[in-house]
Structure 1
Amino acid sequence: MRLRKKMSRSMNDFLPKEKSGIKALNGRFIESPNFPFSKISEASRVEKGPGRPPHWEMVFWWTRKPLISARAIIAGSLLPENTDPEQFLSSIGIRSKGTAHRNKPDYNFEGVKLLDPFAGFGSIPLEAMRLGISATAVELLPTAYVFLKAILEYPSKYGSKLVKDVEKWGNWVTEKLREDPLIKELYDEDVAVYIGTWEVKCPNCGKWTPLVGNWWLARVKGKEGYERLAWMEPKKNGDEIAIKVVDLNKELGNEALKKAKVEENKVVVKEKEYRVPESTIEARRELGTCLHCNQPIMQIDPETGRHYTETKNLPEEVKNRLESYVKFALKLYNKSTNYEEVNNLPNWAKEVPARLRLLVKVKRVKSDLKFEPCTEKDQEKLELARQELENLLKQKDPDIPTEGISLYSVRYLFPILYGMTEWYKLFNSRQLLTLVKLVKLIREAGKQIEQEKVREGLNKEEAFKYAEAVATYLSVILCKYIDYDSIVNYWNASLIRAPTMAVRGISMQWNFCDTSPFIQITGSFLQNINNSKDGLLYLISAFGNKYSRGLVLLDDATILNKLSSKEKSSLIVTDPPYYDDVPYAELSDFYYVWLKRALSDVNGMRLVPRFLSEAFFESFENGWVEISTQWEKYALSEVSLNPPRLGFGAKPEDGVQHFQNLLNASFVTMASKLEDYGLLVTYYAHTDPNAWKALLKAGWEAANLRVTNAFPLTTESAQSVVKRGKLSMDTSIVVVWRKGCEGSIEASELYVEMVEKASERARELLDLGIIGRDLIIGTLAAALATATRYREIRVMGKIDTSTLVDKYVYPATYLGLTKAFARKADLKESVKTPEGMFYLIVKSTVAGAKKKILESTDARIFSIGTSLDLNNALRDLRLLKAEEKASGAKVAKAKVLRLLEPTSKEGSKLAEFLEVRGVGATDPRVRCSVDALHLLEYWAVRYSREEFRRKLDELKAKSPLHVEDALSMVRIMARVLPSEDIEKELCNRIVEYLEPAAPRESKLFDKEEK
């Protein structure tokens, strides 16, 4: 067995100190083309599937970078550039056995300081600490700050005793809740989940009808066929709609289901056909359907109460008043939950025309789930909870989160449109009452833990801090439960329930899950205790016995005023907000309003500071003032592209400028906190051209940093990308920055230099077997590194970043790439025309795929880099075709574009292809070099060598530039395309025909050719 050598490296081992006077800095491994980012991506992919880190299951957060990628980036930033790639991979944990992030790294960089100013869920500082580094994690938002405390500080400080106490006190809270007399009445002991939805009073027939988005209860397919099929069916029962459960496993047996065929809502088993009901709500069209009268539920005039299904001939005055009936009904319901004395109903309404309805209860039976229709008794439990809740609201109980949701966030918080304007309205009465009781129990647990630790001998301060840690985990457990216990989560027929945060925002749902806290099922309070226990065990094991320190700060990345002005870091690695990221401040208030209550105390009818008070209260001379919501306090400070935050009338360009100003400030501040020899490494998960410009404006223009390398990291396998034929450039791009851009250069001179450096880097990458997205980003990095060495780039004066990127960086990148392809084919001249470059690069970088698909963003970047008119390529030249998602030929509407290329080597098929492309086979029309290429490929199959060469000479005389470019493409593609690409064979045939004829040819070959 080979022993791994333990490495303890400090910065002194390989980096010169500034005081030594040495200006030349050693390169790092992450700056080398040999850095094995492709293999790191493959290892990272596992973390998005079955190899997820256990602490990720403690609570949901939007952006969580794979741990092994963070570990690789940190170690690669500290090791010398001549590090052996294979030894590096093994030393960070990417080995033949085990999930990479679970394997302990061999490196120990004691003495190094790392800063992450946008720490999020803590992947980067966690891996820094695992490598023996002192890590400082900064977050602006209190919610993230609390989560970071639980991930970084407490496990390393308290160790394994935390696991026992979190489990002990989590069970104490659960049992105390179970003993509550009212809670006993609200939950059946054997029910895990109640599935419910909204009912509205039909404006046509006046009867109550449920609005159900999906009637499926179970639709699970295994290797041998379907394993579970069940759904709900509505049945008229007088003025009510009853629910019937159709469970085919129970009805037909498990074996019969294996041969079932399911197409959308049709199920066929043993020649018997079943129909799953259609949805009765189409939220996007604002259309409901009544199950009694089958009439559409559409628009209402709130002033008169009149319902309209046709609005064409209505007066404008009436049209302007119309509103979706469903939205209007739900708004009235949500107004009624304010429990005010004032009657909120319009004069024409006798009652609130909406209510919550329970449909089916789900029971856990061993390893299976049993579905039963809900009864009137089940519905009465909601009413019982409502009565108690009404009392608490009238008493202004401070544990009910009555804080307002940010009303401008309708793009991400759709329930606002239905009147859910305060956070407590995202829960039904039973859910809300249960959560309030859990808050009170967690608060009490914190006090008892403190008292217990004092009795055990800890001083008051130590006991308080330890109680704070345990209470924090109990609050995190509560947050996970909240995510699975609202009226805006949904039942998933795969039997993996979808939490509230399952999408990029919080959306309206029409089959919500009311989850029991007591049953061992995903998301329940009891199950979440186990998740936290497993997560804690993983985190404690990760830190091990290594010396490492984790410091979590609640601070603003644009100023970092909680760090000493003299304190600098050897390494800054961070994941700054992206060009169009989610609004974290507004969305994570979903957690914040509950964390604040669970970790604070109560004095009378108001919250007062207790644990982590800096997260929930502001300190003033006269005391503490509660921070109501994150969006009110921090939204304008959060680096985010969100124009509505700026107020009514804010334009998109105002939002862009605000985002840019904050991003600039954060990069300037990071540069000021970086040692002169240090590296700044940023993730950036957006490759839109404007997003790239924003990043360069911040790092290069504002902070005077230069790019030394960039490469993509993805969680999707390269094989999967090729199989689908998508380039998938929209992925995390890692950019490496250093201090020290200086001097100026003329843009024309820089362009020549960038082309040469890009070509040189592309050849290195091609020799390493790098293709596709990785090749493009790697080549782009060389161009950026060249450009950002200079402080100023001039063309009759200094040019801005947008001009630099569009006019010089992208074109230099793609020209360098085509030159590298030409060198690969031993050609002195490369492809020169925009159409030829575009076609060659797409063919070569999405090599091996049957269809070459470009997302619209990728197509834009390609077209900018090759100077191709994308609209012309679609509409006139027909180089591309808009796929299903597109409508028409305009790029703005084309979400996905497919490259038009030969799919057969048969002459008749190639002739058809020329017609599709608009070239023609009998009387060809050559408009560009790609037309010439496809025509030559057809001729090579259709004619003999002599006839081919004669036609080639004629075409040369008519279109010399197009033909010259086409022949360059032929020679390059014959060398670089994979063997399975049909066009490689066609190009090889042309190359064969271009060579001098052999002295003798067999009669058989001549005959076959003719």
Structure 2
Amino acid sequence: MTTPVPHRKLIEVSLPLEEINAESAAEKAVPRKGHPATMHLWWAPRPLAAARAVLFAQLVDDPSSHPDRFPPGEAEKAERERLHGIIRELVKWDEINNEGLYARARAEILASTGGNPPAILDPFAGGGTIPLEAQRLGLEAHASDLNPVPTLKTKALIEIPPTFAGQPPVFPGAADSRLGDWPRGTGMAEDVRRYGALMRIRAEDRIGHLYPQATLPSGEKATVVAWIWARTVTCPNPACRIQMPLVRSWWLAKKKGKETYVSPEVVENASASESGGVRFHIRHDVAHAPSGVNEGTVGRQGARCFACQTAVDLKYVRAESRAKRMGAQLMATVAEGKRQRVYLEPTVEHVRAAHAASPDLAPLGSLPSAALGFRVQGYGMTEWSDLFSDRQLVALSTFSDLVSEMRAQVREDAMAAGFSSAPSKSDDGVTAEAYADAIATYLAMAVSKQVDWSSSLCSWINGHEKVRNTFPRHAMAMTWDYVEINVFSTSVGNFGAHLEWVSAGIDALPAGPRTGRVTQSDASTRDYRGLLIATDPPYYDNIGYSDLSDFFYVWLRRSLRSIHPDLFGTMLVPKAEELVANPYRHGGKQQAEKFFEDGFERVFGRARDSASPDYPITVFYAFKQAELEKEGVASTGWSTFLEGMIREGWTITATWPVRSERGGRMTSVGTNALASSIVLALRPRPETAAATDRTGFLAALHTELADALPKIREGAIAPADLRQTVLGPGMAVYSRYSRVLEADGSRMSVKTALALINATFDEIETEQDADVDADTRFCLDWFKSYGWATRPYGDAESLAVPLGVSVDGVARGGIITSGGGKVALIKPLDLDPRWDPTRDDRTSVWEATCHLARAYATEGREAAARLMAGLTGEGPGTSSGSKVSLDDVQRLALRLYELMETKDAATAGLFNGLGGAWADVAATAQSLPKVSVQEGFNFSEGDD
């Protein structure tokens, strides 16, 4: 009896990658209310679009698995395009609540899984994106993480909302605020808003006196947005000894027409409130701004005293800080004006209000002596409480303690609304206790968001006139002039805003019928039986999650320890088993990398023991930008990762480059920025897998790579991503064998296999060059030999004769210039924009590809689509039949990108753009009215 061959899944064959990448990048570009990432910070969250697309493609069959229904050729291709169309809709943020679309997606999943889809597990849940999107697709979602902070967030995303789906709010009178029902978690979201607003009122009653209003120049009172403070140390010059302000820039606002800066003045006999010798004035006269307004008084090279101009080494500043002799001086107050910020000079009243704060119980816990991304310990910040001003500590403590008060109020109101008074751990979980715990959890998340905007590491962004939070990147960096926001204002960073972000997130959560299951557990020891993995694991030393998350943990623990005792039973986040290559914890870089690699193999070795052969698992692998720039996709980390997966019994069946980071962000956050991720599909390799030698591997590689390439191209992949993508089917050949042997009997390494896959891809591309028309082959040969250079006519003739064409004939085709004994290729941007393929009697694939690339880059999608429609021979005024094969045009666009990438990056970019937009252009071409291309252009009389 033969074992049935598992169906190939769409992710193992073809994806509409460019649309996935484009939507992923757009999703991360601008924070959106309702997006789960905005409910609580977690570092490097996976875009919802990418997770959703990967999960769908992981479970849905590729049509090649059903040749009886979709014979190879056009039927198979059409069905694959239909599935791609569903993914293209699924990844759009604007379709996130399109229940009809998601019903179609769920139906496809059920059809491909026999009506019984596997439960999905992310053992490195992080921000909870993957289990949330699994739940949105109607799947049973499981998640775990060693770290209690992301575990809590994931519970808030997939465990709590389904339990209370459809419940109206219990806050007195809130249920009457709308007609109709309360779908999903909207009732719970309304309660979070209402109890959060009550919480804010009670907090203001207790500590509002610490946040006085400002007096505007007009004499009117205004709410303060923020107070900007300059850290100070005593000038080391014995003749000076003032409290010298440490300021990175004197600018407060740089918007045109609103320019504002601080003008410091040395005061001989300063009062105590002016802190020893410098007074700050607010100025708007840009023409007379001092030359040092941009630099301030401190930078990476050191500091200088504003009064005596003494250069001060940062070693001195650090020493003063560690000796607890660093102070702070109020530099400016930012108030709410009429549709603008108003900057005011410091006053005694506002200095005293800040100093009146007296924190009783600051959060306990010490910062690590050294950790990934930490820079503040060198400045004497050794306890978590050191990161906050006294007023910030009082405010955060007040809000944290109010969470338990609100919980008691919610419980009382829930019982009045008819909730059961049974313990929260009862069978269905729908009790007053459980509901109070749920609302308190979300309120604590809003307070935790407030923590990110309420530390002395927050700074003022003078270009946008707003606050930069503690974690604009995954590091804890020192700030010199810092910002205290007014938690009771209505401007950025206030508690009400954080409350709304959390509530809007709850509103938008799917809250389907399946309740997710979230546990705090170690991925290397947990049970994987009956679960299909889809995960985004940590990557080497990109982010020190556990150390950074203590920043939130110490506050969440204060609010939620009695509600989630299992999560918040320890003083700080567990760290010893965290799967991160932390050199500070493991005795150096090499030992840390070994710890990471060994741990990674243990996790996926354990998962392999119970893996089903019916479905591939999916794993996001995150590159560092610096790693890619140095070594490309053959990087040491990448090959080590693949070696480990193969050694633990996995066959790699696909590799898809998912790009979700904006270029500006990549360059702004340092060498650890995530420049790209690779999504891998992996299946368990049979224990009986045979070995092969290099010859057998290369033969299979050539055959299967040539077969895979057309299917990959169906997804309209950007040419820049093609070389990474073909590694998938290439590694599928390599990793399905128990081993590949070299001539000397040694095992072929992954690094060698990667090189051979790349070489084979180049061979196939060269072979396919011979399948196109002679004019195109002439241009390919010319470019390989001479690029865009002008050469003697004889060079052209020597290339043309073996191909059976004449140089004059190729020139008549409009793709080269020939005259005066000289010949050159015409660059795409120099081609005649009036070209009409319906009237061209000598259209080559080269000409068509270059014109399409030019039109898309310079005139847009519709212009390119009109040319494409003309190339297919459709519509009045066109000659019968296709002028060229569009499949050949698409392949040549990919090929030309490869050829030109290193020789002419600008021109290569034209073909990359066309290749990435291929599906969009093709769809537009099909939707155009059947008219000739000539009618699509408005030429004036007299044009020749």
TM-score normalised over the length of structure 2: 0.71
In structure 2, how many angstroms separate the alpha carbons of the residues matched to 1:245 and 1:330? 28
Q: Does 2:771 correspond to 1:824?
A: no
Deviations 1:875-915 (A, max 9, x none): xxxxxxxxxxxxxxxxxxxxxxxxxx99975799xxxxxxx
Which residue type is aligned with residue 233 of structure 1?
S
Deviations 1:609-639 (A, max 9, x none): x10110012xxxxxxxxx1111xxx322111
In structure 1, how many angstroms separate the alpha carbons of the residues matched to 2:49 and 2:31? 11
Cα distance change, pair 688–812 in 1 and its aligned pair in 2 (3 A): closer
Alignment-derived partner of residue 380 in structure 1? 352
Deviations 1:648-681 (A, max 9, x none): xx23211111001110111122223432312200
Cα distance change, pair 775–485 in 1 and its aligned pair in 2 (3 A): same
Q: How many residues align?
A: 722
CA shift for structure 1 position 124:
1.0
Cα distance change, pair 448–93 in 1 and its aligned pair in 2 (3 A): farther
CA shift for structure 1 position 406:
1.2
In structure 1, how many angstroms separate the alpha carbons of the residues matched to 2:351 and 2:704? 71
Cα distance change, pair 143–718 in 1 and its aligned pair in 2 (3 A): closer
In structure 1, how many angstroms separate the alpha carbons of the residues matched to 2:126 and 2:907? 51
**Counterpart contact for 2:719–2:893, Cα < 8 Å:** no
Which residue type is aligned with residue 280 of structure 2?
I
Alignment-derived partner of residue 644 in structure 1? 584
SS of the residue corresponding to residue 421 of structure 1 reads coil
In structure 2, how many angstroms separate the alpha carbons of the residues matched to 1:771 and 1:89? 15
Which residue type is aligned with residue 330 of structure 1?
S
Q: Does 2:243 correspond to 1:208?
A: yes
Alignment-derived partner of residue 849 in structure 1? none
Counterpart among 775, 789, 806 of residue 736 in structure 2: 789
Counterpart among 178, 182, 199 of residue 204 in structure 2: 178
Counterpart among 459, 463, 484 of residue 490 in structure 1: 459
Alignment-derived partner of residue 279 in structure 2? 242
Unaligned runs of 5+ in 1: 1-19, 221-225, 249-266, 300-323, 334-351, 601-609, 618-626, 722-727, 829-839, 845-900, 909-939, 947-971, 988-1010
**Counterpart contact for 1:824–1:976, Cα < 8 Å:** no
In structure 1, how many angstroms separate the alpha carbons of the residues matched to 2:10 and 2:307? 69
**Counterpart contact for 2:128–2:150, Cα < 8 Å:** no
Alignment-derived partner of residue 532 in structure 1? 502
CA shift for structure 1 position 405:
1.0
Unaligned runs of 5+ in 2: 64-75, 165-184, 214-221, 271-276, 424-430, 624-632, 667-672, 773-779, 793-816, 824-890, 909-944
CA shift for structure 1 position 186:
4.3
SS of the residue corresponding to residue 371 of structure 1 reads strand
Cα distance change, pair 613–942 in 1 and its aligned pair in 2 (3 A): farther
Q: Does 2:26 correspond to 1:46?
A: yes
CA shift for structure 1 position 46:
1.8
Alignment-derived partner of residue 447 in structure 1? 408
Alignment-derived partner of residue 195 in structure 1? 228
Alignment-derived partner of residue 232 in structure 1? 262
What are the equivalent positions in structure 2 for 1:11-410 lying under 5 Å apart? 22-33=3-14, 35-50=15-30, 52=32, 53-82=34-63, 84-92=79-87, 94=89, 99-104=94-99, 105=102, 106-108=104-106, 109=110, 111-112=116-117, 113-158=119-164, 159-180=185-206, 182-188=207-213, 190-204=223-237, 205-220=240-255, 226=256, 228-238=258-268, 240-247=277-284, 275=291, 277-285=293-301, 287-298=302-313, 324-333=315-324, 352=325, 354-385=326-357, 388-389=358-359, 392=360, 397=361, 400-409=362-371
CA shift for structure 1 position 794:
2.5
CA shift for structure 1 position 93:
6.2
SS of the residue corresponding to residue 491 of structure 1 reads strand
Which residue type is aligned with residue 310 of structure 2?
Q
In structure 2, how many angstroms separate the alpha carbons of the residues matched to 1:532 and 1:568? 33
Which residue type is aligned with residue 676 of structure 2?
T
**Counterpart contact for 2:105–2:137, Cα < 8 Å:** yes
Cα distance change, pair 975–985 in 1 and its aligned pair in 2 (3 A): farther
Q: Does 2:583 correspond to 1:629?
A: no
Alignment-derived partner of residue 499 in structure 1? 469
Which residue type is aligned with residue 700 of structure 1?
I
In structure 1, how many angstroms separate the alpha carbons of the residues matched to 2:906 and 2:122? 51
**Counterpart contact for 2:490–2:497, Cα < 8 Å:** yes
CA shift for structure 1 position 490:
1.2
Q: Does 2:470 correspond to 1:521?
A: no
**Counterpart contact for 1:762–1:816, Cα < 8 Å:** no
CA shift for structure 1 position 273:
7.2
Alignment-derived partner of residue 10 in structure 1? none
SS of the residue corresponding to residue 522 of structure 2 reads coil
In structure 2, how many angstroms separate the alpha carbons of the residues matched to 1:136 and 1:331? 46
Cα distance change, pair 211–977 in 1 and its aligned pair in 2 (3 A): same
**Counterpart contact for 2:790–2:822, Cα < 8 Å:** no
Alignment-derived partner of residue 442 in structure 2? 473
**Counterpart contact for 2:125–2:535, Cα < 8 Å:** yes
Counterpart among 544, 556, 580 of residue 541 in structure 2: 580
**Counterpart contact for 2:12–2:653, Cα < 8 Å:** yes
What are the equivalent positions in structure 2 for 1:709-858 lying under 5 Å apart? 709-715=654-660, 730-741=675-686, 742-762=689-709, 765=712, 770-795=717-742, 804-807=749-752, 809-826=753-770
Q: Does 2:567 correspond to 1:597?
A: no
Cα distance change, pair 672–747 in 1 and its aligned pair in 2 (3 A): same
Q: Does 2:494 correspond to 1:551?
A: no
In structure 2, how many angstroms separate the alpha carbons of the residues matched to 1:635 and 1:96? 35
SS of the residue corresponding to residue 614 of structure 1 reads coil
Cα distance change, pair 717–60 in 1 and its aligned pair in 2 (3 A): closer
Cα distance change, pair 770–436 in 1 and its aligned pair in 2 (3 A): closer
**Counterpart contact for 2:227–2:483, Cα < 8 Å:** yes
TM-score normalised over the length of structure 1: 0.66
Which residue type is aligned with residue 292 of structure 1?
A
In structure 2, how many angstroms separate the alpha carbons of the residues matched to 1:227 and 1:549? 54
SS of the residue corresponding to residue 435 of structure 1 reads helix
Which residue type is aligned with residue 556 of structure 1?
D
In structure 2, how many angstroms separate the alpha carbons of the residues matched to 1:421 and 1:133? 45
In structure 2, how many angstroms separate the alpha carbons of the residues matched to 1:822 and 1:38? 25
Cα distance change, pair 903–216 in 1 and its aligned pair in 2 (3 A): farther
CA shift for structure 1 position 160:
2.5
In structure 1, how many angstroms separate the alpha carbons of the residues matched to 2:383 and 2:606? 36
Query: Greater relative contact order (Cα 8 A, min sep 6): structure 1 or 2?
Result: 2
Deviations 1:21-64 (A, max 9, x none): 6331111111113x212221122222012474533222211121
CA shift for structure 1 position 89:
4.4
Which residue type is aligned with residue 644 of structure 1?
Y
Which residue type is aligned with residue 179 of structure 1?
D
Q: Does 2:636 correspond to 1:690?
A: yes
- Quote the RMSD (CA, aligned, Å): 3.7
CA shift for structure 1 position 96:
11
Cα distance change, pair 455–530 in 1 and its aligned pair in 2 (3 A): same
**Counterpart contact for 1:762–1:778, Cα < 8 Å:** no
**Counterpart contact for 1:196–1:511, Cα < 8 Å:** yes
Cα distance change, pair 428–673 in 1 and its aligned pair in 2 (3 A): farther
Cα distance change, pair 756–781 in 1 and its aligned pair in 2 (3 A): same
**Counterpart contact for 1:905–1:941, Cα < 8 Å:** no
**Counterpart contact for 1:30–1:73, Cα < 8 Å:** yes
In structure 2, how many angstroms separate the alpha carbons of the residues matched to 1:36 and 1:488? 42
Counterpart among 388, 397, 401 of residue 436 in structure 1: 397
